[in-house]
Amino acid sequence: MPATLTRRTFAWVAAVSPVMLAACSKTPSPAPSAKQVDLLVESNGDLLEFTPKDLTCHAGDLVRLTFRHTGKYVSFEHNWVLIMPGSFDQITAAAAAAGESKGYLPVGDSRILAFTPMCRRGQAAITQFTAPKAGDYLFICTFPGHAQSMWGILHVLPKAA
Ligand SMILES: [Cu+2]
């Protein structure tokens, strides 16, 4: 490589690096007002239940939720899907229609607020989302037949002052 090109490349890197570093360190952090909240929810062992069944955060929080399938024997999978109030019937039907190849998830459905992929026993998945406006939101597992008992409520409280 000619020396001139090398020098020019170094100059370019030197000029650009501070900007890139600033952008990199800035991207993952939330807006200054958003609070980061870590939540953990698991399957209740091999049962078709979540534990805990109630989760709490505040509107606008940046939520990092970990879901863990703690089953030891069952072969079926679970996911964690947060849905808009009043959409239980439509989402469970759409999930069944989406089928196994799509992970029983109607991808792109605007009534799904957050989700993890399906997890096998012993697996965990993390999803990040901004908490919606205050209210109670149902979360379910969309594996066919599970949501009847495998559900819980995310209580979104008004934004903390
Ligand atoms: Cu399930």
Which tens digits make up the pLDDT trace of 100-146? 999 999 989 999 999 999 999 999 999 999 999 999 999 999 999 99
Tell me the CA–centroid distance for residue 141 and ligand 1, in Å.
5
Same-domain pairing of 91 and 59: yes
Query: Is the domain of 72 the same as that of 8?
Result: no
- H/E run at residue 61: none
The CATH code of the domain that includes 41 is 2.60.40.420
* Number of domains forming the structure of the chain: 2
Task: Tell me: do 40 and 22 sit in the same domain.
Answer: no
How many Cβ atoms from other residues are within 10 Å of residue 8's Cβ?
A: 11
How far apart are alpha carbons 152 and 161 in whole angstroms?
27
How close is the Cα of 46 to the center of ligand 1, in Å?
A: 10
Predicted local confidence at residue 81, as pLDDT: 98
State the residue range of the domain holding 84: 36-157
Cα angle value 149/142/140 (rounded, 5°): 50
Q: Do 112 and 57 share a domain, yes or no?
A: yes
pLDDT in tens, 64-85: 999 999 999 999 999 999 999 9
Neighbours of 66 (CB within 10 A): 15
Give residue 93 CA to ligand 1 midpoint distance, Å. Answer: 15
DSSP 101: G
| Residue 59 sits in the same domain as residue 88 | yes
Going from the Cα of 134 to the center of ligand 1, the distance in angstroms, rounded, reads 26
Separation of CA 148 and ligand 1 centre (Å): 10
Whether residues 65 and 100 share a domain: the answer is yes
